[in-house]
Amino acid sequence: MRWNRFTVKTKTEAEDMVICTLAEIGIEGVEIQDKQPLTEQDKAQMFVDIMPEGPEDDGIAYLNFYLEEDADKEEILKNVRDALEELRGFMDIGEGTIEESQTEDKDWINNWKEYFHQFYVDDILIVPSWEEVKEEDRDKMILHIDPGTAFGTGMHETTQLVIRQLKKYVTEDTELLDVGTGSGILGIVALKLGAKHVVGTDLDPCAIPAVSENKEANQIPDEDFEMMIGNIIDDKTVQEKVGYERYDIVAANILADVLLGLTPVVVNHMKKGAYYITSGILDVKEEVVVNAVKEAGLTLVEVTRQGEWVSVTARKD
């Protein structure tokens, strides 16, 4: 199958926001081309100590996304252009132009696997199904996670920020609600840390098989991790099924704009003394999320950071 490739020309400093904006309108799996030098963490994940000298960073990024030949590209491109113009209203995204080209016939669904290798989040080892656990790592806490084609691996800073907060606050009595579950990595981490039970919600039906496969890979009993599809923000049925004043921790690794609508709703599902752990927040939106948390009646506990990403943790007193 041949694919149509569309390339958005933007600035390196706007990469993450443009990618998040594309995700909001349903475009996943964006390929980044820029001249930013690799970080030490990048080199470690690629098992490279010394990289050859590359071209000097010119501040320009090219973001590629792919559509099948029979996709309604005119409608999709209209949505992309509208979203980019809206984003341009509050940050400099550079040219924001879109160019079209065709790709050769490749297995885009599976080619990404050659770049995803096992890696650590502090003392937790995350391993994909196609790699073996090394003998020297068998005594570590190990998560077997396959993201599939739609969800993250745990390598992104936002997920790592939440994992570190879960390590602080999960106990053997913890009932956890994970909003925007995706591959299920946060719920599985919580259960590995000793949590009693997890409920996950997601808008994407693909989360059901993704979580199911990852539960099986980690020997998690079905009854310990329940999944449901729907929008907890405005779907009363989902809210009632999730349950009110039930959870010791609510985790939400979602975009900041979604957190603004979620926060005043999710308070109703938290027990007194429960923790609300959020991430997916670019540093430029930290203040907005902190204010939303306070306006919902929660007490700010701490703000943690990794790169340009922020996690806000609050408590229901």
Mean pLDDT of 208-236: 93
If we measure between CA atoms, which residue out of 272, 273, 266 comes closest to residue 293? 266
Q: Determine phi and psi for 215, rounding to 5 degrees.
A: -60, -45
Distance CA 239, CA 231 (A): 8
pLDDT for residue 316: 98
| pLDDT tens, residue by residue, 69-89 | 777 888 999 999 999 999 998
Banded model confidence at residue 293, pLDDT cuts 50, 70, 90: very high
Mean pLDDT of 283-308: 95
| pLDDT tens, residue by residue, 146-160 | 755 444 555 678 888
Distance CA 217, CA 202 (A): 20
Banded model confidence at residue 145, pLDDT cuts 50, 70, 90: confident
pTM, two decimals, is: 0.66
Taking the mean position of all CA atoms in its chain, how far away is CA 9? 23
| pLDDT tens, residue by residue, 255-280 | 888 999 999 999 999 999 999 999 98
More confident residue, 139 or 19: 19
CB neighbours of 113 closer than 8 A, spacing ≥ 6? Answer: 128, 130
* Residue matched to tokens 């030949």: 69
CB 56 within 8 A of CB 35: yes
What are the C-alpha distances in Å from 117 to residues 45, 47, 252? Answer: 7, 9, 25
Q: Which amino acid belongs to residue 109?
A: I
3-class DSSP state of 206: coil
